[in-house]
A and B are shown apart, each in its own frame.
Chain A
Amino acid sequence: MELVVDRSSQEPVYRQISRQIRGMVASGALPGGFRLPPERRLARALGVNRSTVLQAYDELKAEGLLDAHVGRGTSVRPPRQEILEPASEVVPLPWRQLFRQVGPEALDPLVRDLLAMSERQDGISLAVGLPAPELLPVQEVRDVLRTLFGEVGPALLQHSPTEGHTPLRESIAGLLARRGILCDPSEVLVLSGSQQGLDLAARVLVDPGDVVVVEEPSFFGALQCFRAAQARLVGVPVDGEGMQTDVLEWVLQRHRPKLIYTLPTFQNPSGAVMSLQRRRHLLELAYRYQVPVLEDDPYSDLRYAGEALPTLRTLDTHGYVLYLSTFSKVLSPGLRLGFLAAPRPALRQMTLAKQAVDLHTNTPAQWLADRFLREGLFAPHLLRVRAAYAARLEAMDATLRSCAPAGMSWQRPEGGFYVWCRLPAEVDARALATRAAAAGVSYLPGRSCAVSPPAEDHVRLNFSFCGPELIREGVRRLCRALGEAQAIPRADTAETRPIV
């Protein structure tokens, strides 16, 4: 067990220790039953106080990752299902019974198109979730396409199978393996963007009136999609460790939902990462209440700090998790390419639904993505954008720290595209909207990510689209607008008066 302590880091030393041990347990480097060094010995080895190591161990014990026994010291707790429930009691999901008796979908008005916001020339957009245009791998794509047209010819313009171009499904299986997900290429469905995955999941699983559990707040595109399928949405609050699974349990008991929708890693909009303990708890609850889980994972490759945690799909031992991801955030959003890894019965049904929806995803983009992955262009490109986005996050965080008015709070995320800021209590969100528009800066209002009207107002700030300079200027404009809005008394603070 090799641990590194960085004294120049802002992260407390005990946190550094616990984080690294957590990562090793998650990755399997420290197997269940592994005996950890006694606190005193580890403290000496690392040159830290014994109490620091004690604190780290205590934290991990509280999370259920470590066990302590008098006389035997501290060891890694064996895998969850052995302690909680014997695996044999988990019922395989009756997928057939869950599939939607296909029916009409509602035409709810959708939130207005954010993409238009990015097109205003004078304004600074911190609203959209777009990758930086100047970082798109245009040159590489150009080369790959030239080669493909020469080598492949007409097949590049012909129909492809509904499931997807077979070599791309293989490449995606390889990409998934690097994220700790082992699946066969036949368990991969290529999508026309991950939005399509949400739409197909709703079509296949959700009948009008069915309950879908979502995080509160959540990705507004998913909320739209489930609402359009006439689902009843029930929100489970998110805190610094992701979805609050104790609340989830209560919701599952009470509402008997059809689906749990979660973004466990760099959640949109909050940026939260679901802790390993919560991930395990969520799955255990899904098994107990027999509810499939739709894991949306667009951002996990974009980690700027900390250790990766296993995906729900990695931890899932009973085929409950539909894993959804996309090429839009790293490679190119314009290709409209996403993918789903799912248990076979679910995948088959989603494939049939996809056939009715658009036959198949466009052929040239699939060949392009496959070559991009196969020729090893993806990994270096990812390193490049990751470094750039880390710098942009730093620019945003630093500017917020120096300019944000008192009462504004946020957690610096370890990855993803967004900083989620709680507004000072006295700021009226609507007043801020008009001030910010006048100042020439846009953001995503927190309300559009909410299932029910939120108790506190937030704004979601994107740091991937604009360069560091524009980000600093944008945040400064926003903070000025906040200052102006603070001066205006809130419209909705008055108590509710009975009408007599």
Chain B
Amino acid sequence: MNYPLAQRMDRMKASEIREMLKLTRRPEVISFAGGLPAPEAFPVKEMQEVAARMLATRGCEVMQYSTTEGEPDLREWIAARMAARLQTAVTPDEVLITSGSQQGLDLSGKVLLDEGDSVLCESPTYLAAIQCFTAYRAQFVEVPTDDDGMLPEELDRRLRSAHRPKVVYVIPDFQNPTGRCWSLERRRRFMEVVAAHEVVVLEDNPYGELRFEGVALPALKALDRRNQVVMLATFSKILCPGLRLGWVAAPAPLLEKYVLVKQGADLHTSTLTQRLAADYVHEYDLDAAIGRIRELYRGRRNLMVAALERELPPGVRFTRPSGGLFLWVELPEQLSGRDLLARCLQHDVAFVPGGSFFPCGGHENTARLNFSNMPEARIEEGIRRFALAIREMLAETAVAATANA
């Protein structure tokens, strides 16, 4: 029977999946589940040199308290880089260093959201953002999204009908979980729509620098004429995640609030890790390092896409992202990603069921695959097992259907 579970049980799904994914820590499991960058791309040698030098020349400073806003030279570097890459006009004063971009999300919740406020988001959207804003008792409104990005008319309609719309949360570049990248035209239309509403746009951009082909598009922040865009970004994907370094770029009056809230949350981000990153970007060629990461991930994406094309049965669709860490699989309607994960774990392969990325539920026949973390040989083998599990389950449902008929 269908048990009439309480609605709150919907929120239990994420942790149920977390329990299942704990199994992926076994070394024999090929995991496409996590969003982990490839450790072989971390600049270990360079960081070792940076650490030795900075402790020799400015050791006390590195180990002492810092300001809540963050190290000034790092903020300057970020502003300059955003201008060069994303065509923004952000000043160093509009940048706050955060303890990872997760903190950027959390501070945004603290600064912007009251209980019952609506957060509009892409459908699907980033899992940790759902969890984070849920903690502030926000309601989610999913806005239909296609391969070019959020649909502007649908957004406009929902901004008019939603209860106290406060924030529009989007990931326009190589979105987590789908890998989609918004078109320039869609970015422009989006900004026209939001400009007519009193909402803050939270533009989450962790993957923008990881473009494998084509030209970089301007960030929403670069198209923002009303000062309503707050951008969140991170060093996790371009340098390494263990430093827990991210940043918020926001209009000055809003950034002031972020600073106050951050001070209460953790005083400031670690001086040690800020100095490691700042000295690294000053002394080494970050672009070359990102270039190597891009090459690595591009190769892995190619491999995964080719393997999926080769192995998947008809009726299964998937995205072919031109950047980022993830691709998105849509299974035939009758298959559930959760059941498929259980089956895949029997074959020692793991991924994240896609249903978790829809705050309002549904879309169970989906899956997110990460292609950045597994070495090449394991990607091919993992996709072979993934496809095998799908074929097995399709065969079983076909048998069941025949039996019922």
B56–A142 CB distance below 8 A: yes
Query: Cβ of B39 < 8 Å from any Cβ of A?
Result: yes
Q: A138-B63, A333-B64, A363-B242 are in contact. Are A149 and B51 (CB under 8 A)?
A: yes
Which one of B68, B239, B241, B260 lies within 8 Å of A159 (CB-CB)? B241
Q: Is the CB of B270 within 8 A of A335?
A: yes
Q: Are B48 and A146 in contact (CB under 8 A)?
A: yes
- For the complex, give the distance between the alpha carbons of A377 and B111 in Å: 41
Asked if B244 and A156 sit within 8 Å, CB to CB, the answer is no
Bound CA–CA A115/B118 (angstroms): 37
Contacts of B103 in A (CB 8 A): 357-358
Q: Give the residues in chain B near A116, CB-CB below 8 Å.
A: 67
User: Is A360 touching B264 in the complex (CB atoms < 8 A)?
Assistant: no
Q: Is A133 an interface residue (CB 8 A)?
A: yes
Quick check: is A104 within 8 A (CB to CB) of the other chain? Answer: yes
Stretch at the interface among B128-136, B171-179, B356-364: B128-136
Q: Which of the candidate stretches A13-21, A105-113, A243-251, A478-486 sits at the interface with the other chain? A: A105-113
Q: How far is the CB of B189 from chain A (nearest CB, A)?
A: 32
Q: Hey, what's the 0/1 contact readout for A3-36 against B, CB within 8 Å counting as 1? A: 0000000000000000000000000000000000
Instruction: Choose among A146, A221, A333, A353 the residue that contacts B63 (Cβ–Cβ < 8 A).
Output: A333
Q: Cβ of A71 < 8 Å from any Cβ of B? A: no
Chain B proximity of A268: nearest CB distance (Å): 15
Q: Are A364 and B273 in contact (CB under 8 A)?
A: yes
As a 0/1 sequence over residues 107 to 149 of chain A, the CB contacts with chain B under 8 angstroms (1 = contact) are 1011001011000000000001010011010110110011001
Q: CB of B332 within 8 A of chain A?
A: no
Residue of chain A at shortest CB distance from B236: A159
Q: Nearest chain B CB to A115's CB is how many angstroms away?
A: 6
CB of A362 within 8 A of CB of B55, answer: no
A150, A195, A359, A365 — most chain B CB neighbours (10 Å): A359
**Inside 8 A of A67's CB, which chain B residues have their CB?**
none
Instruction: Give Cα A328–Cα B271 distance, bound, in whole angstroms.
Output: 12
Verify A115–B265 contact, CB threshold 8 A: no
A280 is an interface residue with CB less than 8 A from chain B: no
The residues of B that contact A150 with a CB separation of less than 8 Å are 48
Distance (whole angstroms) from the CB of B72 to the closest CB of chain A: 12
Q: How far is the CA of A155 from the CA of B47 in the complex (A)?
A: 13
Known contacts A109-B260, A150-B48, A154-B44; is A358 also within 8 Å of B100 by CB?
A: yes
- A228: B residues at CB distance < 8 A: 261, 264
Interface residues of B in 117-162 (CB under 8 A from A): 128, 131-132, 135-137
- Interface size bracket, A side: 35 or more
183-242 of chain B: CB within 8 A of chain A: 239-242
Interface residue from B52, B100, B137, B241 paired with A103 (Cβ < 8 Å)? B137
Q: Which of B243-277 contact A (CB under 8 A)?
A: 243-245, 257, 260-261, 263-273, 276
Q: How long is the Cα–Cα vector from A335 to B211 in the complex, in angstroms?
A: 33
- Which residues of A sit under 8 angstroms from B59, Cβ to Cβ? 136, 138-139, 141-142
Evaluate contact between A199 and B264: CB separation under 8 angstroms: yes
A196 vs B261: C-alpha distance when bound (angstroms) = 12
- Interfacial chain B residues near A206, Cβ < 8 Å: none
Cα separation A385 to B60 with both chains bound (whole Å): 15
Please tell me if B384 contacts chain A, counting CB pairs below 8 Å: no
B42 within 8 A of A: yes
What's the least CB distance linking B98 to chain A, in Å?
A: 8
Q: Which residue of A lies closest to B239 (CB)?
A: A157
Q: A365 touching B272 by the CB < 8 A rule?
A: yes
With a CB–CB cut-off of 8 A, which chain B residues contact A142? 51-52, 55-56, 59
Q: Which of A305-349 contact B (CB under 8 A)?
A: 328, 332-336
B303 at the interface (CB under 8 A from A): no
B272 touches A335 (CB 8 A): yes
Q: Is the CB–CB distance between A362 and B39 below 8 Å? A: no
> Residue-by-residue, is A347-386 near B (CB-CB < 8 Å gives 1, otherwise 0)?
0000001001111111111001000000000000000000
A97 contacts the other chain (Cβ, under 8 Å)? no
Q: How far is the CA of A361 from the CA of B242 in the complex (A)?
A: 8
CB-based contact A104/B272 at 8 Å: no
A165 nearest in chain B by CB position: B242
Give which listed residue, A107, A333, A353, contacts B65 with CB less than 8 A.
A333
Contact A362 B267 (CB under 8 A): no
Bound-state Cα–Cα, A40 to B337, Å? 83
Smallest beta-carbon distance B375→chain A, Å: 13
B336 within 8 A of A: no
Pairwise interchain contact A104-B113, C-beta atoms closer than 8 A: yes
Contacts of A159 in B (CB 8 A): 36, 241-242
Q: Given A158-B39, A193-B266, A364-B273, check contact A115 B67 (CB 8 Å).
A: yes
Nearest residue (CB) in B for A134 is B60
Tell me, rounded to whole Å, the shortest Cβ–Cβ distance linking A467 to chain B: 13
Tell me the smallest distance from the CB of A226 to a CB of chain B, in Å.
10
| B62 interface residue (CB < 8 Å to A) | yes
Against B, the Cβ 8 Å flags (1 = close, 0 = not) of A200-224 are 0000000000000000000001001
CB within 8 Å of A: which of B73-131?
A: 99-100, 102-103, 106, 110-111, 113-115, 128, 131
When distances are taken between beta carbons in the complex, the residues of chain B under 8 Å from A136 are: 59-60, 63-64
Q: Does B40 contact A (CB under 8 A)?
A: yes
A171 is an interface residue with CB less than 8 A from chain B: no
Contacts of B36 in A (CB 8 A): 158-159
Minimum C-beta distance from B71 to chain A (A): 11
User: A225 at the A/B interface (Cβ < 8 Å)?
Assistant: yes
A145-B55, A334-B66 known; A356 vs B264 contact (CB < 8 Å): no
Contacts of A155 in B (CB 8 A): 39, 242
- Residues of chain B contacted by A102 (CB below 8 angstroms): 135-137
The answer, among B52, B113, B132, B243, for a CB contact under 8 Å with A145, is: B52
B18 (CB) vs chain A CBs: closest residue = A355
CB-based contact A199/B265 at 8 Å: yes
- A208 nearest CB neighbor, chain B only: B115
**A153 on interface, CB distance cutoff 8 Å:** yes
A153 to B39, alpha carbons, bound, how many Å?
9
- CB–CB A149/B44 < 8 A: yes
CB nearest to B260 among chain A residues:
A110
Give the chain B neighbours of A356 by CB distance below 8 A. 102, 106, 128, 131-132, 135
Q: Could you tell me the distance between the alpha carbons of A328 and B128 in the complex, rounded to whole angstroms?
A: 30
Smallest beta-carbon distance A486→chain B, Å? 34
The contact of B244 among A109, A128, A153, A358, by CB within 8 Å, is: A358
- Tell me which of B52, B135, B245, B269 has the highest count of chain A C-beta atoms within 10 A of its own C-beta: B135
Indicate if the CB atoms of B63 and A105 lie closer than 8 Å: no
Question: Contact: A357 with B63, CB < 8 Å?
Answer: no
State the Cβ distance, B204 to closest chain A Cβ, in Å. Answer: 15
Q: Which residues of A contact B270 (CB under 8 A)?
A: 192, 334-336, 362, 365
In angstroms, how far is the closest chain B Cβ from the Cβ of A464? 12
Counting chain B CB atoms within 10 Å of each CB, the highest count among A134, A157, A192, A359 belongs to A157
A22, chain B: closest CB distance, angstroms: 36
Asked if B244 and A360 sit within 8 Å, CB to CB, the answer is yes
Shortest distance between the CB of B172 and any CB in chain A (Å): 23
Whether A154 and B266, one on each chain, are in contact in the complex, defined by CB atoms closer than 8 angstroms, is no
Which of A150, A332, A336, A365 is the most central at the interface, judged by chain B CB atoms within 10 Å of its CB?
A336
Q: A142-B56, A336-B267, A359-B100 are in contact. List 11 more A-B contacts (CB 8 A).
A: A107-B257, A107-B260, A110-B264, A141-B59, A155-B242, A156-B44, A224-B263, A335-B272, A357-B103, A362-B99, A364-B272
A-B residue pairs, 8 tightest by C-beta: A138-B59, A363-B242, A334-B271, A149-B48, A157-B240, A154-B39, A332-B63, A142-B55
27 A–B contacts from the bound complex (CB under 8 Å): A104-B110, A104-B115, A107-B257, A113-B67, A113-B263, A115-B67, A142-B59, A145-B52, A146-B48, A153-B44, A154-B240, A155-B242, A157-B47, A159-B241, A192-B270, A199-B266, A221-B267, A334-B64, A336-B266, A356-B131, A358-B102, A358-B103, A359-B100, A359-B244, A362-B273, A363-B244, A364-B276
A interface residues, Cβ below 8 angstroms from B: 102-105, 107, 109-110, 113, 115-116, 128, 130, 133-134, 136, 138-139, 141-142, 145-146, 149-150, 153-160, 192-193, 195-196, 199, 221, 224-225, 228, 328, 332-336, 353, 356-365, 368
